[in-house]
Amino acid sequence: MKFSCLALSALTLAIPVFAQNDWHVIDKTTESTSRGGVAGANAAGLYVRMPADQYLGGIGIMNTVSILQDQNIATADPVMFVVRGNDPVGPATGQPDITGAGLLASAGPFNLSFGTGTGAAAAYWTITWTTTPATAIRVPTTANPGNPPSFVGLDMYSGVECGVNVTPGVAWPTDGVSMHCSLTVAPTNPGEQMSPLTVGYTGVAGNSGMGWRWDATTPGALPIVASGNRAWWINNRMAGNVLRTFADNAGAFTGVNSGANPNYGYAGMFLDEGRTVASVVTPDNLGFRLHATNAMGSPVYFFISSGIIPPIAIAGVGGELALDISSPVFGEIFSSLPSLPIGVTGAMGTPFGQPYAATSTECVFGPLPGSSTLIGLPPLSFQAVTVDAITSVFTISSVCTVRL
């Protein structure tokens, strides 16, 4: 399979780049390319869900990167890059809004060229939506945020919409564009084995509800959760500091027919405290990783809550408050110091060819020991507050949530 690094600029502003410091990465392996089950002759929408309780506080999306594949590079087939909001008249658990009103951002459609010659080829495609956090892609503040505890109305769906092939009568997979993905259901073991008992974002146990597909050609068809609990290869770069949880289980995440350890995929959001490794119950350990643009040695304070709120901007503070500070379990749980600079591509799940800013820093805390006694606890959300060692400016990270 041939890879190349290509980029599209969807929006260019004459403003200096500021605080583009982390990709909201789902640590995944690629085992196939797919249109999610949409008929090969039809147009297909492929989306990764950005749940409110996994990104709020990070302000919004500035860039997206995806791996797409064209089955025959001799033809340039249509693709549109999109960010959509939640369907206000859809199910209570949420779904992408495929109407014009639901389109938060779009680039294209483009007839993408993957190179010269014939046959299949894959490429990384980067969309730069904006260069300033003030115009990052986000759900309008006028939108109905939905009900607690998840505020599904603030969810976003980042993805691509692949059009019908330009060559009449030729359907995918003979030709046409698809997206790389990972199916996350054992025994295919792509390494994102979330807890089979934990309910995902669409109310189904063992299914994250993160990967979606839409048959855009069939009249009246609505988006549905793609089969296989799949993880589409889409990464979103946020405007603010990004906090992620990860699962640590060296026996389970070996990198051989499995994801890397630590695991920032679905396992990191839905830890399996009853996981069995070699017939022995080996609970996932929980860790945290913060990527920030603060000076080396800046103190970091981690906070916990049993709920989130629609984000609140605070004057003079970077990021936004998204933890429910009225929660009875709200409070600081620990503090730490970032110590490692980020500047090497490929580290910690960084998309190939997408280096972090030279001023970025990383703080990893944990992992904390897992335990089967944690099974069934309500969702727990976290945010980090960093005080810059040079400027003394406070910055709040994006929120992240663990479901057990």
Structure tokens at 192: 């994102």
Least confident segment among 27-41, 209-223, 299-313: 27-41
Question: pLDDT confidence of 265, banded at 50, 70, 90?
Answer: confident
Question: pLDDT confidence of 361, banded at 50, 70, 90?
Answer: confident
- Give the pLDDT score at 20: 39
- Concatenated DSSP letters for 80-109? EEEEEEB-TTS-TT--B--SGGGEEEEEEE
- Between strands 3-8 and 121-128, the pairing is parallel
232: closest CA among 69, 59, 70?
69
Do 184 and 190 form a contact (C-beta atoms < 8 A)? yes
| Beta-sheet strands, E only, within 185-339 | 211-215, 224-225, 231-232, 234-238, 242-248, 276-277, 280-281, 285-292, 300-305, 308-313, 320-323, 331-336
Q: Looking at the predicted structure, is the pLDDT value of residue 271 above 70?
A: yes
Do 44 and 33 form a contact (C-beta atoms < 8 A)? no
- Give the pLDDT score at 14: 21
The dihedrals phi and psi of 157, each to the nearest 5 degrees, come to: -130, 110
Do 59 and 157 form a contact (C-beta atoms < 8 A)? no
Q: Looking at the predicted structure, is the pLDDT value of residue 351 above 60?
A: no
Q: Looking at the predicted structure, is the pLDDT value of residue 213 above 60?
A: yes
Instruction: Tell me the mean pLDDT in the region 148-162.
Output: 95
Question: pLDDT confidence of 176, banded at 50, 70, 90?
Answer: very high
pTM of the entire predicted model: 0.89
**Better-predicted residue by pLDDT, 96 or 4:** 96
Rounded to whole angstroms, how far apart are CA atoms 243 and 314? 19
Q: Can you give the residue ranges of every domain in the chain?
A: 3-402
Question: pLDDT confidence of 22, banded at 50, 70, 90?
Answer: low
- Give the pLDDT score at 9: 28
Structure tokens at 400: 């992240």
Structure tokens at 342: 């980020």
Do 35 and 178 form a contact (C-beta atoms < 8 A)? yes
Structure tokens at 137: 């892609």
Question: Which one-letter DSSP state was computed for residue 118?
Answer: S
**Better-predicted residue by pLDDT, 170 or 361:** 170
Do 401 and 308 form a contact (C-beta atoms < 8 A)? yes
- Give the pLDDT score at 192: 75
H-run or E-run covering 362: strand 361-368
- Give the pLDDT score at 282: 95
Other CB atoms within 10 Å distance of the CB of residue 100: 7
Q: Looking at the predicted structure, is the pLDDT value of residue 258 above 80?
A: no
Does the CA dihedral 398-25-360-133 come out positive or negative? negative
Structure tokens at 329: 């379990």
Average pLDDT, the chain: 85
**Better-predicted residue by pLDDT, 10 or 104:** 104
Q: Looking at the predicted structure, is the pLDDT value of residue 18 above 80?
A: no
Do 299 and 338 form a contact (C-beta atoms < 8 A)? no
Structure tokens at 176: 């046409």
Rounded to whole angstroms, how far apart are CA atoms 391 and 85? 36
Q: Looking at the predicted structure, is the pLDDT value of residue 370 above 80?
A: yes
Rounded to whole angstroms, how far apart are CA atoms 175 and 178? 9
